[in-house]
C-alpha cells in the first residue's frame, strides 16, 4: 500500500497518498482550487497564479515534539506570510491550506482582473463560450467589472492557422502553456512554443508541416480559453446545442472512447448529425486523449455518396432493389453456392455483425471459411490465451514493466498506445523496439533491436533462449501445465541468446507487455511471430498477469473480436488459394487493396458486399447492400487489449441502410435460420451464451462506469479540460485463458524461414500509415493535406543503382500488380527493400511482402 499523509484544508483533516499534488489532493476530496495552467496530466509550472492559497503547517513544540493545541484542543498552525501557488505544492504530513480567506479571495480576484485586461471578452462569438474555464472561473471568483482602460488593450491577430487543423486566436490566449507542455511532455513533438516575453508572449509554430503532430486536437480540449479551436468545429455550433452521444472510434485497435456532439442540423436537412468528436474519458483505454484521425475522421458517416438502397448489377448497370428482394436473392444464391462460399469480414464490423455473419454462413456450410480483411496479421487466438491480464492499465505502468514493440510502426498504427508507451518510457518502463527499420518510437526506447525483414521471430527466440538460462524465471514451469515445454526447451537449446542488453531489460522487469505488429511478415510468418511471443510470455511466467501479455497491433478496430468469434487470416489465405464461387464481403475493400484478392473476387460467380460507398469492391460485386456506419447504430468492438466496448446510436440513419447484423440475420431467416433478433443487445446476449470468453459481456455490464480521476468536463472543465465524463460504460476486459491458474497452456517451437531469394530487384514491404485513403477516412476532406501521395521508400544504395532520386515518379511492379508512386529516399528503408505505404492509392498492391521491381518513369 502507498503511504498516506494527513493534511488540512480550511481546518478539516483529510488523508491522501504521499506525494500527491495539492490541487489534485483537494480535488480528490471534492474541494476546488481554481487553476488555469495546472493540469492533472501535466507537470506543474505555477505560471498563471490562479491557484494562490494560504499555506501553513502544524505548529510543533520544539522541546516535546508534540503538536501545539489551542484552548479548545484544536491543532495550531503556522502560516506563511504570503499567498503561494497550490499547484507547485506536494502534500506532506501536517500541511495546511486555507482556500476561502479574504486574502485568497482577493488574490484570485486580482489574477482574473489581470488576465481579463488583455482578453477580448468576445464570448458571444467564441466557440469555447459555454464550456470555457475562464468564463466559469470569472463567474465564480472574478471581479464584476474591469478598471482597465480599453485604449491600453493589446490587440493581436485572430484566426491564425497553426496548421490546417487548429486555429489560434492570439487575443484570447492567457499564456498558460498547457498546449506547449502537452506537445512537449506528453507527445514529445516539440512543435509549439512561446515567442517573445511579457505581454508580447505568443504561441508559435514553424514546424513543417505546421503544428506537425498526430495529437494536435487534444490541445483544444485542455486550452482553458477559446484560443485554440479546431478547423472541424469552429463556428459549427454552440456547445449547449449539442447532444453528446457515447461511441467508440472505428479506426484502429486502441478503441478510444469518444463522445460525439450531435444536433439536428440545417445543413443536413434537419437530420441529427455529428458536429464534432471529443474524447470520452476511459483511463483504462485512451485516458482523455484521442488522435487527430479519430477526432476528424468522422465525416464518412454523412459523406456524399453514401449508399442508400440495395443495388443489383443487371447487365452491367446498377439497379436499385428493395430489401426483401435483396434478401431473397442472397438466400437463393446461398442455397446454390453454399458449398463454395467465402466470407470476408472487414475490420470495422461489430461483434454483433460478425456473429450474425458467422451464423448465416453456418446455415449453408458445415465448416464455413470465415476470413478477415485485411488478412495481413493473425494470432488472435494466441492473444486470447496470453493477452494482457485483468487490471492492465498502460497509463499506470512504470519501471516494474518492460514493453516490447515488434514489427510495428507504432505511432502510425496505434497512436494512443504509442502515446502511452512513450509516457511509460518517460516514467521508467523499459521500452524495447524491434523492427527492420527505424520508427519514431526508437527515440524513447531503452534499446533498439534491428533484424532483417522476415526474421522477427529470431529476436523473440533469442530472448526466450536467454530466459531459459535463468532458472529463477523458468525453473517453476511444469510440463503438466504447459504442453510442448520439453520440445520448446530442446529447440531453444540450439539458439544463441542474442541482443543481450535488450533481453536483460525485458526479462529483469516484473511485467512484460509485447505489442506485435505485422510489418514485413506473411500471414504464416506472423503466426510464427505470435507463437514466439506467446512462448516467451509463458516461459517467463509473464502470461496471465496484470500489465503483462500479448497485444496484436491489428489493422482495424475489431479484428480481435473477429478472432474471438472464429474468423482468421488463415481462412482468408485458404479462400484466396482456392477461390470460392460465391463471396459475402462485409465492410471491406479487398479489391482496392490487394491484387490477388481482386482476382479471386472478380472471378467468382456471385459476390454480395455490404458497404458504405461504391468502392472498387462494391463495383466488383453483383449485389451491394447499404450498411450503416458506426454512428447510426449500436454495437460493440473488442479492442486490441480485448476490452469489449459499447458504442451507441449517434446520428440519424442515411437512406434505407441497415446494420450488418440485421442484414445477415434477415437473410438467415429466409434460409430457415432462427428469427432475427430485435436489437444489437439481444444479439450480444446470444454471443454471451455461446462464446465462453464473452459470457460476462452483456450490454448492461459493458455500460457500467466507475469514478475516474482526473475529473473532467462539467464543473471540472477548468481542471481536466473538455474531454467528456464517461457515463456510458468503461467496457469489459476479457481475461486471457492464462489467468486461470489451472488452464492448460501450449508452447510450440518456431523457426525462422530464411527469406526466399528471388531474382527480383527488391522485396516489397507493405507498411501502414495513419492517414490513408481508407473508405472510413477518405471522406474527411480537412485531413487530405495530411494524407501523403502514393509513395515508395527506397534505400539510398538501391535508389542509386536504379538511377532513382528522391521525388522521382516510379513504377512498382510485381506478380499481378503495378503501381505508380513517388520515390522517397529518406534513409528509412533497409537495403534490398521497398517500403510501400498501404491504402494510399486505389490501385491494388500486395498486402503482405512480395517481390517487386522499381523503375523510373517519365513525368
Interface residue list for other proteins (CB under 8 A): 189-197, 204-208, 212
Closest approach of Cβ 446 to other proteins, in Å?
A: 16
With respect to other proteins, which residue has the nearer C-beta, 237 or 448?
Answer: 448
Closest approach of Cβ 786 to other proteins, in Å?
A: 17
With respect to other proteins, which residue has the nearer C-beta, 113 or 212?
Answer: 212
Closest approach of Cβ 646 to other proteins, in Å?
A: 39
Closest approach of Cβ 190 to other proteins, in Å?
A: 5
**Which contacts of 601-606 are long-range, i.e. CB under 8 A and separated by 24 or more positions?**
603/579, 604/342, 604/579, 604/580, 605/337, 605/581, 606/333, 606/336, 606/337, 606/581, 606/582
Closest approach of Cβ 204 to other proteins, in Å?
A: 6
With respect to other proteins, which residue has the nearer C-beta, 149 or 206?
Answer: 206
What is d(CA 493, CA 112) in angstroms, rounded to the nearest whole number? 70
Closest approach of Cβ 777 to other proteins, in Å?
A: 26
Closest approach of Cβ 217 to other proteins, in Å?
A: 18
DSSP secondary structure string for all residues of 444-464: G-SEEEE--TT-HHHHHHHHH
Closest approach of Cβ 223 to other proteins, in Å?
A: 18
The answer to whether the Cα torsion of 322, 324, 329, 333 is positive or negative is positive
**Residue 628, Cβ density class (10 Å: 0-12 exposed, 13-18 middle, ≥19 buried):** buried
What is d(CA 103, CA 552) in angstroms, rounded to the nearest whole number? 56
- The CB density around residue 5, as the number of other CB atoms within 10 Å, is 18
With respect to other proteins, which residue has the nearer C-beta, 419 or 732?
Answer: 419
Helix, coil or strand: residue 161: strand
8 Å CB contact between 424 and 397: yes
Helix, coil or strand: residue 600: helix
- Cell numbers representing residue 60 in the block: 510543533
Whether the bond between 340 and the residue before it is cis, its omega within 30 degrees of 0, is: no
With respect to other proteins, which residue has the nearer C-beta, 191 or 485?
Answer: 191
Closest approach of Cβ 209 to other proteins, in Å?
A: 12
Place of cell 504561441: 203
Contacts of 501 (CB under 8 A, 6+ apart): 447
With respect to other proteins, which residue has the nearer C-beta, 228 or 840?
Answer: 228
Closest approach of Cβ 224 to other proteins, in Å?
A: 21
- The CB density around residue 495, as the number of other CB atoms within 10 Å, is 18
Place of cell 483505454: 285
Whether the bond between 209 and the residue before it is cis, its omega within 30 degrees of 0, is: yes
What is d(CA 440, CA 417) in angstroms, rounded to the nearest whole number? 13
**Phi and psi at residue 531, to the nearest 5°:** -65, -40
Q: Is 547 left (phi over 0), alpha (psi -120 to 50) or beta?
A: left
With respect to other proteins, which residue has the nearer C-beta, 133 or 188?
Answer: 188
Closest approach of Cβ 216 to other proteins, in Å?
A: 13
- Cell numbers representing residue 2 in the block: 502507498
8 Å CB contact between 93 and 6: yes
What is d(CA 136, CA 129) in angstroms, rounded to the nearest whole number? 10
What is d(CA 828, CA 437) in angstroms, rounded to the nearest whole number? 6
Rg (CA), the chain: 29
Question: How are beta strands 850-856 and 809-814 bridged, if at all?
Answer: antiparallel
Closest approach of Cβ 295 to other proteins, in Å?
A: 22
Amino acid at each position: 500500500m502507498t503511504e498516506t499523509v494527513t493534511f488540512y484544508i480550511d481546518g478539516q483533516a483529510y488523508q491522501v497518498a504521499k506525494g500527491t499534488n495539492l490541487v489534485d489532493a483537494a480535488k480528490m476530496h471534492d474541494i476546488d482550487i481554481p487553476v488555469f495552467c495546472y493540469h492533472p496530466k501535466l507537470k506543474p509550472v505555477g505560471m498563471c497564479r490562479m491557484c494562490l492559497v494560504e499555506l501553513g503547517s502544524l505548529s510543533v513544540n520544539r522541546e516535546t515534539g508534540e503538536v501545539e493545541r489551542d484552548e479548545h484542543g484544536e491543532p495550531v498552525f503556522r502560516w506563511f506570510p504570503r499567498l503561494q501557488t497550490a499547484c507547485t505544492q506536494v502534500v506532506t504530513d501536517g500541511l495546511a491550506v486555507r482556500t476561502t480567506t479574504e486574502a485568497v479571495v482577493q488574490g484570485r480576484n486580482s489574477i482574473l482582473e489581470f488576465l481579463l485586461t488583455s482578453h477580448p471578452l468576445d464570448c458571444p462569438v467564441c466557440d469555447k463560450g459555454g464550456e470555457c474555464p475562464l468564463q466559469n472561473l470569472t463567474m465564480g471568483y472574478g471581479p464584476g467589472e474591469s478598471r482597465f482602460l480599453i485604449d491600453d488593450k493589446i490587440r493581436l491577430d485572430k484566426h491564425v492557422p497553426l496548421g490546417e487543423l487548429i486555429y489560434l486566436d492570439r487575443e484570447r490566449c492567457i499564456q498558460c502553456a498547457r498546449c506547449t507542455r502537452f506537445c512537449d511532455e506528453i507527445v514529445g513533438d516539440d512543435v509549439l512554443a512561446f515567442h517573445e516575453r511579457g505581454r508580447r508572449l505568443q504561441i508559435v509554430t514553424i514546424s513543417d508541416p505546421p503544428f506537425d503532430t498526430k495529437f494536435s486536437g487534444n490541445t483544444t480540449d485542455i486550452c482553458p480559453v477559446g484560443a485554440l479551436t479546431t478547423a472541424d468545429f469552429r463556428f459549427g455550433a454552440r456547445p449547449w446545442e449539442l447532444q453528446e452521444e457515447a461511441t467508440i472510434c472505428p479506426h484502429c485497435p486502441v478503441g478510444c472512447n469518444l463522445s460525439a456532439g450531435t444536433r439536428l442540423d440545417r445543413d443536413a436537412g434537419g437530420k441529427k448529425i455529428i458536429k464534432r468528436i471529443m474524447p470520452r474519458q476511459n483511463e483504462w483505454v485512451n485516458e482523455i486523449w484521442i488522435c487527430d484521425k479519430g477526432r476528424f475522421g468522422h465525416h464518412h458517416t454523412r459523406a456524399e455518396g453514401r449508399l442508400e438502397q440495395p443495388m443489383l448489377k443487371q447487365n452491367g448497370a446498377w439497379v436499385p432493389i428493395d430489401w426483401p428482394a435483396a434478401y431473397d436473392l442472397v438466400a437463393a444464391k446461398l442455397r446454390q453456392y453454399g458449398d463454395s462460399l467465402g466470407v470476408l469480414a472487414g475490420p470495422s464490423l461489430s461483434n454483433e455483425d460478425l456473429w450474425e455473419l458467422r451464423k448465416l454462413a453456418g446455415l449453408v456450410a458445415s465448416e464455413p471459411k470465415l476470413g478477415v480483411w485485411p488478412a495481413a496479421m493473425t494470432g488472435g487466438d494466441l492473444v486470447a490465451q496470453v493477452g494482457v491480464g485483468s487490471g492492465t492499465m498502460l497509463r499506470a505502468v512504470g519501471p516494474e514493466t518492460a514493453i516490447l514493440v515488434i514489427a510495428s510502426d507504432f505511432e502510425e498504427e496505434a497512436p494512443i498506445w504509442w502515446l502511452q508507451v512513450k509516457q511509460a518510457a518517460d516514467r521508467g518502463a523499459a521500452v524495447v523496439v524491434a523492427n527492420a527499420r527505424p520508427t519514431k518510437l526508437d527515440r524513447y526506447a531503452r534499446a533498439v533491436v534491428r533484424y532483417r525483414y522476415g526474421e522477427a521471430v529470431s529476436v523473440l527466440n533469442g530472448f526466450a533462449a536467454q530466459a531459459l538460462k535463468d532458472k529463477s524465471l523458468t525453473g517453476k514451469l511444469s510440463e503438466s501445465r504447459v504442453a510442448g515445454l520439453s520440445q520448446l526447451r530442446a529447440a531453444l537449446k540450439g539458439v544463441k541468446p542474442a541482443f543481450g542488453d535488450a533481453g536483460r531489460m525485458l526479462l529483469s522487469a516484473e511485467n512484460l507487455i509485447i505489442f506485435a505488429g505485422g510489418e514485413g511478415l506473411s500471414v504464416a510468418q506472423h503466426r510464427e511471430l505470435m507463437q514466439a511471443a506467446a512462448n516467451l510470455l509463458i516461459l517467463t511466467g509473464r502470461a496471465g498477469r496484470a500489465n503483462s501479455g500479448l497485444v496484436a497491433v491489428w489493422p482495424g478496430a475489431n479484428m480481435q473480436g473477429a478472432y474471438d468469434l472464429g474468423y482468421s487470416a488463415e481462412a482468408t489465405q485458404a479462400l484466396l488459394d482456392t477461390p470460392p464461387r460465391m463471396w459475402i464481403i462485409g465492410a471491406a475493400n479487398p479489391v482496392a487493396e490487394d491484387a490477388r484478392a481482386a482476382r479471386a473476387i472478380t472471378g467468382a460467380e456471385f459476390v454480395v458486399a455490404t458497404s458504405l460507398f461504391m468502392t472498387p469492391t462494391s463495383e466488383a460485386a453483383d449485389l451491394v447492400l447499404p450498411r450503416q456506419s458506426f454512428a447510426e447504430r449500436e454495437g460493440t468492438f473488442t479492442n486490441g487489449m480485448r476490452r469489449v466496448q459499447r458504442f451507441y446510436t449517434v446520428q440519424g440513419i442515411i437512406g434505407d441502410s441497415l446494420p450488418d447484423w440485421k442484414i445477415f440475420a434477415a437473410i438467415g431467416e429466409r434460409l430457415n435460420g432462427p428469427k432475427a433478433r430485435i436489437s444489437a443487445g439481444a444479439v450480444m446476449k446470444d454471443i454471451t451464451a455461446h462464446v465462453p470468453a464473452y459470457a460476462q459481456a452483456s450490454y448492461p455490464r459493458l455500460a457500467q462506469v466507475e469514478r475516474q480521476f482526473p475529473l473532467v468536463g462539467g464543473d471540472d472543465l477548468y481542471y481536466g479540460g473538455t474531454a467528456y465524463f464517461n457515463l456510458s460504460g468503461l467496457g469489459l476486459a476479457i481475461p486471457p485463458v492464462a489467468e486461470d491458474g489451472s488452464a492448460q497452456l501450449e508452447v510450440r517451437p518456431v523457426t525462422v524461414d530464411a527469406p526466399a531469394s528471388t531474382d527480383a530487384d527488391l522485396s516489397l514491404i507493405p507498411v501502414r500509415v495513419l492517414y490513408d485513403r481508407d473508405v472510413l477516412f477518405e471522406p474527411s476532406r480537412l485531413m487530405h493535406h495530411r494524407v501523403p501521395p502514393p509513395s515508395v521508400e527506397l534505400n539510398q544504395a538501391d535508389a542509386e543503382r536504379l538511377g532513382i532520386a528522391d521525388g522521382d515518379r516510379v513504377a512498382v511492379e510485381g506478380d499481378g500488380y503495378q503501381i505508380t508512386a513517388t520515390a522517397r529516399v529518406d534513409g528509412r528503408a533497409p537495403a534490398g527493400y521497398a517500403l510501400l505505404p498501404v491504402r494510399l492509392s486505389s490501385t491494388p498492391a500486395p498486402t503482405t511482402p512480395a517481390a517487386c521491381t522499381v523503375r523510373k518513369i517519365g513525368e
